[in-house]
Amino acid sequence: MSSETPAPPRKLPFVQLFTDGACRGNPGPGGWGCILRHPATGTEKEISGGEILTTNNQMELQAVISGLEAIKSRSEVEVVTDSTYVAKGSESWMAGWKKNGWQRREGNSWKPVKNVEMWQKLDELLAKHQVRFTHVRGHMGHPENERCDVLAVAAAMAISGQ
């Protein structure tokens, strides 16, 4: 019998992920932007991209997906977003969608979840990390949200050739 005490569980690295999506027309050319911040080291990384024909909700989802894909090791992640769709979808609605075969009730019938492939990808990524969502109001002076909006709009404009 060993009297050794087990090592305490290692604390996961903490990452803040700030995200935003933008669309010029809905649907239309769109962009997303995110900031990854590792407070323990003070490092920060900005990434962005766009699609020629997309929706605002798709770009909001893509910002979170791309940010989580950029995190290479299991981490505790705070996703800061102005998208109620992404925050509530991830924290509240997704469990029911999965239970119902990625279907949602619409009136008296079942319909496929919109953007299901993106939600499924996000579900995979959320399982790799310990994630919580913080919802902020958009365009209200939150510095990182404003910066992500600038990145997203610039990406949408670049993809549309403007």
How many CB atoms are closer than 10 A to CB 155? 24
Rounded CA-CA distance 156/48 in Å is 10
* 38 given a catalytic annotation: no
* 149 given a catalytic annotation: yes
Rounded CA-CA distance 30/9 in Å is 42
Q: Which among 49, 82, 129, 144 is annotated as catalytic?
A: 82
* 4 given a catalytic annotation: no
Q: Which among 49, 51, 89, 149 is annotated as catalytic?
A: 149
Pairing of strands 109-112, 14-23: unpaired
Q: Are 145 and 20 in contact (CB under 8 A)?
A: yes
Contacts with 127 (C-beta within 8 Å, 6 or more apart), sequence order: none
Q: Which among 20, 30, 51, 129 is annotated as catalytic?
A: 20
Q: Which among 69, 117, 124, 139 is annotated as catalytic?
A: 139
* 129 given a catalytic annotation: no
* 123 given a catalytic annotation: no
Q: Which among 4, 21, 78, 123 is annotated as catalytic?
A: 21
Q: Which among 30, 49, 50, 60 is annotated as catalytic?
A: 60
Rounded CA-CA distance 144/150 in Å is 10
* 25 given a catalytic annotation: no
Phi, psi of 6 (to 5 degrees): -65, 150
Q: Are 155 and 33 in contact (CB under 8 A)?
A: yes
Return the active site residues: 20-21, 60, 82, 139, 149
